[in-house]
Structure 1
Amino acid sequence: MAHSVLIVDDAAFMRMMIKDILSKNGFEVVGEAADGQQAVDQFEELKPDLVTMDITMPEKDGIQALKEIKAMDPNSTVIMCSAMGQQAMVIDAIQAGAKDFIVKPFQADRVLEAINKALD
């Protein structure tokens, strides 16, 4: 059965890029969110196998959303997405429970490697 994925990024273009990579590789994208609050709400509703989470977003950032998702489901699998130069935030995210991180701009092989590793 295909793994279900929730894609969280405030940039529609970035969501589209990840969705494209995942869809072509047998993953089922069950939801998309544009900010951290939507991410938490959709996670609760959809219970996806995996969440790709942008770090910098309006309303609620990715690290706050990650913490709330982890509080809801300690076994949730979340991979952070960050632009170069966000190393300190990436470390915070890993400490908060993120499984891995992907750097923008996305490279399909790196995205799939991180996701497959996180889901193992």
Structure 2
Amino acid sequence: MADGILIVDDASFMRMMIKDILTKNGFTVLGEAENGMKAVEKYNELKPSLVIMDITMPEVDGIQAVKAIRKIDGNAKIVMCSAMGQQAMVIEAIQAGAKDFIVKPFQADRVIEAVKKVLS
């Protein structure tokens, strides 16, 4: 498995923000995807060690994408991102196989903490 991270969010500025936090802290970003369908394709192609995935996206949402990725790789490590007030979706994501979640707006230290926890 490649030692890198796949960032999935339909908002390009969010992907840029997460990428910035990760790279400043020594992590490698292998790729980005703007929806769940692309996330599954990129996961297959890049085999990242971690996926940071938004829950609410067009076409295929984060929860469906988690389920699809976990079918491909039962050991996939996925951290979900959600806006405030999406607790029910976060619980659903964890049940689908996500390892942790971070809440928007992001705090850099929380992003790094989640990444380190899930990767260790």
Quick one: percent identity of the two aligned structures? Answer: 71
Structure 2 residue aligned with 1:94: 94
Which deviations, in whole Å up to 9, do the C-alpha atoms of 1:17-55 show, x marking residues without a partner? 000000011111010000000000000000000000000
- Runs of 4+ off more than 4 Å: none
**Rounded Cα–Cα distance in structure 1 between residues aligned with 2:3 and 2:103:** 22
**Rounded Cα–Cα distance in structure 2 between residues aligned with 1:30 and 1:117:** 19
Instruction: Name the SS for the 1:14 alignment partner.
Output: helix
Aligned residues: 119
**TM-score normalised per structure 1:** 0.97
Mapping of residues 67-106 of structure 1, within 5 Å: 67-106=67-106
**Rounded Cα–Cα distance in structure 2 between residues aligned with 1:95 and 1:44:** 22
**Rounded Cα–Cα distance in structure 2 between residues aligned with 1:14 and 1:105:** 9
Instruction: Name the SS for the 2:105 alignment partner.
Output: coil
Shift of 1:3: 3.4
Structure 2 residue aligned with 1:59: 59
**Rounded Cα–Cα distance in structure 2 between residues aligned with 1:81 and 1:57:** 11
Instruction: Name the SS for the 2:53 alignment partner.
Output: strand
**Rounded Cα–Cα distance in structure 2 between residues aligned with 1:74 and 1:37:** 18
Instruction: Name the SS for the 1:101 alignment partner.
Output: strand
**Rounded Cα–Cα distance in structure 2 between residues aligned with 1:74 and 1:3:** 17
Gaps of 5+ in 2: none
Gaps of 5+ in 1: none
